[in-house]
Structure 1
Amino acid sequence: MTLRPWILALLLLAAGAIGGAVVLAGQALRPAPAAGDVRGYLMAHPEVIPEAIQVLQERETGKLVAANRAAVTTPFPGAVGGNPAGDVTIVTYMDYACGFCRASLPDLAKLVGEDAKVRVVYRELPILSAESRDAAAWALAAAEQGKYMPFHTALFAAGRPNAASIAQAANAAGLDLARARTAIASPAVATELSRNLDMARALGMTGTPAWVIGDRILSGAVGHDALQKAVAAARAAR
């Protein structure tokens, strides 16, 4: 039977990712086949193909993150938490209208409380609504006043962003409202939001929350344990 071109391409990709050995789920290590036997091996063990593709995707993601590391990990002034001098940085892309982002806050807080060497960079990614963008702009204005975390926490606690909840969070954080409005209208805030959206697209992010830890990108409300493991892996790779 003649294999279709896309299947052959897939097999070649998988073969490249296999390298010197193939790990089969629940089985011992087996030596990689000789070049001429790759097709037959993969046809006999198709379960290695998804694993190989995942390895390739992770490699490509790592290259993208490494190429853009400074732009990703350098915070908008004031939009940073945890230990500013930490040895591992968690970059979190969030939207104030995102319920999964809100659900992730306790996991992130627990991790920061447990690990005094974690630095957190907050990146606004307002993709869900017009109110999301308003909230993100106010958050950056709060950062400009050194009050990012009080505003961030208060707004998520208030529920979905709207004019009333944003005003409530601004008051709770003790913002200078006139100064905040000036900051919101500034090129710096507009540029930050635009850059975050562009970077998210470049890194292949499809929603919020998204996390960049070391050379990895995690998507969704992954939970405390996944964040902790990613931090440990990034620390080990230093």
Structure 2
Amino acid sequence: MPLPRLFAAAAATVALALPAAAFDMSAMTDAERADFGEEVRAYLLENPQVIIDAVNLLEQQQAMAQVEADLNMVSDNADAIFDDGFSFVGGNPDGDITLVEFLDYKCGYCKRAHTEVAKLLETDGNIRLIVKEFPILGEQSLLASRFAISTLIVEGADAYEAVNDALMTSNGELSVPVMARVASTLGLDADAIVAGMDSDEVTNRIAQTRALAQELQITGTPTFVMHDEMLRGYLPYDQLMMMVDEKRG
């Protein structure tokens, strides 16, 4: 936090500790305001812990406000998040816990999260996974999402899951020829998948997910939604499992 904001937050804390009658800035003269400012500055320099306490309080309040805002955004967009009718659904479709992931195939943290989520699904057989294709890291990201969505449309959920895993575990270039070879290796109709990449349906699905991400104020990947809670950023298996346990109560 910039130094002026540190002083402002701490000064506000000092001011709140004063009786209302003792802190009426509008009743002060310019000279009195200047003197007050100098006194506050001197006090803060002599008692730097006040600054730390004020900043911690401010950050706590901001975090609580973000959590509340996230809860409201998830509630307002629940149908689009959990039942859009086109996103891949894996794990246990009837699971009691639903985990939604917004991902990008060129995102390093998404690749790390892929392993953690796979471990979660393997360990806990009662997780419903929804994958939201959210390409934000350039042309290769967009091509990969188009290829994956086209695979889902042309070949179905099992094929999508295999392609998703292959793309997430790949560290190389995600060009159309490379992905077509991956599909062929998996025994899929690569030509049909490539032909469908630029279809209106694929374009519309990506556009809808981007619009949803904007509504949820998602600007990075991976981002997760677990029931009513939004989890922004990479989470290891242990933390995901702990949150699952919390949701089950």
**2:144 aligns to what?**
135
Q: Is it true that 1:157 corresponds to 2:166 in the alignment?
A: no
Contact 2:111 2:168 in 1 (8 A): yes
Residues in 1 aligned to 2:181 and 2:195: alpha-carbon distance in whole angstroms? 19
**1:48 aligns to what?**
57
Aligned equivalent of 1:124, options 133, 156, 163? 133
Q: Is it true that 1:105 corresponds to 2:118 in the alignment?
A: no
Deviation at 1:108, TM superposition (A): 0.5
Q: Equivalences for 1:1-150 in 2 at 5 Å?
A: 46=54, 47-74=56-83, 77=86, 79-144=88-153, 145-146=155-156, 147-150=159-162
Deviation at 1:75, TM superposition (A): 5.2
Structure 1 residue runs without a partner (length 5+) = 1-5, 16-32
Aligned equivalent of 1:209, options 222, 226, 241? 222
Residues in 2 aligned to 1:187 and 1:164: alpha-carbon distance in whole angstroms? 21
Which residue identity lines up with residue 122 of structure 1 in the other structure?
V
Deviation at 1:78, TM superposition (A): 6.5
Which residue identity lines up with residue 216 of structure 2 in the other structure?
L
Residues in 2 aligned to 1:233 and 1:68: alpha-carbon distance in whole angstroms? 22
Q: Which structure has more helix as a fraction of its residues?
A: 2
Contact 1:89 1:119 in 2 (8 A): yes
Contact 1:151 1:172 in 2 (8 A): no
Which residue identity lines up with residue 163 of structure 2 in the other structure?
F
Residues in 1 aligned to 2:191 and 2:146: alpha-carbon distance in whole angstroms? 14
Distance 1:216-1:231 versus aligned 2 partners, 3 A rule: same
Task: Judge which range, 55-64 or 149-158, deviates more.
Answer: 149-158
Deviation at 1:110, TM superposition (A): 0.9
CA offset digits 1:77-97 (Å, max 9, x no partner): 471211011111111111111
**1:168 aligns to what?**
181
Task: Judge which range, 186-195 or 151-160, deviates more.
Answer: 151-160
TM-score under structure 1 normalisation? 0.76
TM-score under structure 2 normalisation? 0.73
Which residue identity lines up with residue 97 of structure 1 in the other structure?
K
Q: Please give the root-mean-square deviation of Cα atoms over the aligned residues, in Å.
A: 2.8
Structure 2 residue runs without a partner (length 5+) = 1-7, 24-49
SS of 2:201's partner is: helix
SS of 2:116's partner is: helix
CA offset digits 1:98-153 (Å, max 9, x no partner): 11111111110111111111011011111111111111011011112111111111
Distance 1:48-1:78 versus aligned 2 partners, 3 A rule: closer
Residues in 2 aligned to 1:229 and 1:75: alpha-carbon distance in whole angstroms? 27
Which residue identity lines up with residue 139 of structure 1 in the other structure?
A
Which residue identity lines up with residue 116 of structure 1 in the other structure?
G
The number of residues matched between the two structures is 205
Residues in 1 aligned to 2:87 and 2:189: alpha-carbon distance in whole angstroms? 15
Deviation at 1:179, TM superposition (A): 2.9
Taking only the aligned residue pairs, the percentage that are identical comes to 27
Residues in 2 aligned to 1:92 and 1:76: alpha-carbon distance in whole angstroms? 15
